[in-house]
Amino acid sequence: MIRFENVTKRFDEISALENVNLKVSEGEILTIIGPNGSGKTTILRIMAGIDMPTIGEVYFKNKRVDKDNLREVRKNITLVFQRTALFNTTVQKNVAYGLRLRGYPKREIEERVKEALKMVKLQDFEKRWVKNLSGGEQQRVSLARALVLNTDVLLLDEPTANLDPKNVSIIEETISWVSRERKTTVVMATHNMFQAEILTDRAALLIGGRIAQIGAPQQILRVPSEHLASFARLENVFSGMSTIVEGGISRVQLEDDLTIEAAVKLEGRVTLFVQPEDIILSKKELISSARNVFEGEVMEVSDLGNKVRLRVNARKNFIVQITKRSFKEMQLNIGSRVFLTFKASSVSIM
C-alpha cells in the first residue's frame, strides 16, 4: 500500500528522518514506536502527502507520489493528529465537515455521520458542542471525522496519549474493528509498548530518525535490546551475579538475598528482565514446575481498563499485570499478601 525508499527528511540543518526504507502492506496494522522526537510524526506526515521527502521516494499503491498525483493520494489517506483542532460547533458538523467538502448529498452525510459516531460510541452526541466534551470524547470525535471518509489508509498519531482507560479502550476497539471489518490499512505512531503489542501486526522501532528494528511486535517488544532500553521504561529489570547450575540454567544472585533462575548458561554479572504479563499472581503458593516463586505484599494498584497492574514488594519491587476479572476474584487490594510465580524460560538476559 505504501513504500518508502531511502527517505530522508531535513528541516534546515536538522535531520528528522535518515534513509528510511519501509513497506506497509494492504490491510495490516503497523505501529511505529519510538521516543518523542524520533521522527514518528514526520513519517505519518509524509505518508499523508502533507510533507515531501528531502531525499528518496514514496510510493502509494505502487505509484510514485509526486505533485501530479498528490491530490489523489490525499483523498485516499486520512491522518488523525494527536491534538486535532476541532471546530467550535456541534459534533455532527465536525464529523460531517470532510464529507461536505467532497460534495456528498445531505442524506448520505447524515447516515455516514451516525455510523461513524456509533463506531466510537458517541451515538446521540450529534447535537452536543465539542467544547463541552472531555478530552477523550474530543479525540473520539476526531477519529470519527476520519472514519466517516472511509479512506484506504488511516494514520494515527499517538491516538490515546494522556487519555483515561475508558477512552483508550474504546479507541483501541475501534481501530481493531476498522482493520478487521473494513480491511482498512492502519499506521499508528505511539510510544506505548503495551498498545503496540496487543493491537498491531508489525512494529517498527524508530530511534533518531532511523528504523532500528522491524518485525512482529513480540519479537521486538518482548526481547530487551539496547535500542528498546534507550527510551522504554522497562519493568522488572534486576542485576546480579550469575552462576551456571544443573539442568542448563543459571542462578542469578541479586541484592537482598534474592535469587532468580533463568533458562540460560551465563557466568558473571548480568542484567535480567521479566515481562509483567509472564508473572502468575496467586493468593496461595502454586504447585508447579516454575523455578521462581516469591511471597510479597501488594503496594500499588493501577486500573488499565480490562487489566490491572500491581506493584508487589517481594524484597524487590515486581510489576505484575493481570485481568480485572482475576483481580476481583482474588479480592486483592493494597496490603494483600500474594505469591509471584514465573518460569526460568520467562527470564530474559539483557
| pLDDT digit string, tens, across residues 124-148 | 999 999 999 998 999 999 999 999 9
Q: For position 232, what pLDDT does the model report?
A: 58
H-type alpha helices, the chain:
40-47, 70-76, 91-101, 106-119, 135-147, 165-181, 193-199, 217-221, 226-229, 324-329
Domain boundaries 2-229, corresponding CATH code: 3.40.50.300
For residue 231, what pLDDT band results from cuts at 50, 70 and 90?
Answer: low
Pair type for strands 29-33 and 185-190: parallel
Q: What is the DSSP letter of 24?
A: E
Q: How far apart are alpha carbons 146 and 148 in whole angstroms?
A: 6
Q: For position 62, what pLDDT does the model report?
A: 94
Q: How far apart are alpha carbons 81 and 45 in whole angstroms?
A: 10
Is residue 286 scored above 60 in pLDDT?
Answer: yes
Report CA dihedral (200, 202, 205, 209) to the nearest 10 degrees: -100
Percentage of the chain lying above the pLDDT 70 cut: 95
pTM of the model: 0.71
Q: What is the mean pLDDT of residues 327-341?
A: 94
- The continuous run of DSSP H or E covering 246 comes out as none
C-alpha cell at 115: 455510523
Residues whose CB falls within 8 Å of the CB of residue 15, separated by 6 or more in sequence, listed in order = 8, 9, 209
Report the phi/psi class of residue 62: left, alpha or beta, with left for phi > 0 and alpha for psi in -120 to 50.
Answer: left
Q: How far apart are alpha carbons 90 and 113 in whole angstroms?
A: 12
Q: How far apart are alpha carbons 183 and 226 in whole angstroms?
A: 35
Domain ranges of the chain: 2-229, 237-349
Q: What is the DSSP letter of 31?
A: E
Q: How many CB atoms lie under 10 A from the CB of residue 34?
A: 26
Side-chain-facing half-sphere of 22: CA atoms under 13 Å: 31
Task: Of 22-26, 134-138, 200-204, 237-241, give the range with the top mean pLDDT.
Answer: 22-26
Looking at the domain covering 237-349, what would its CATH class be? mainly beta
List, for residues 241-272, the tens digit of each pLDDT value: 999 998 778 999 997 789 999 988 888 988 88
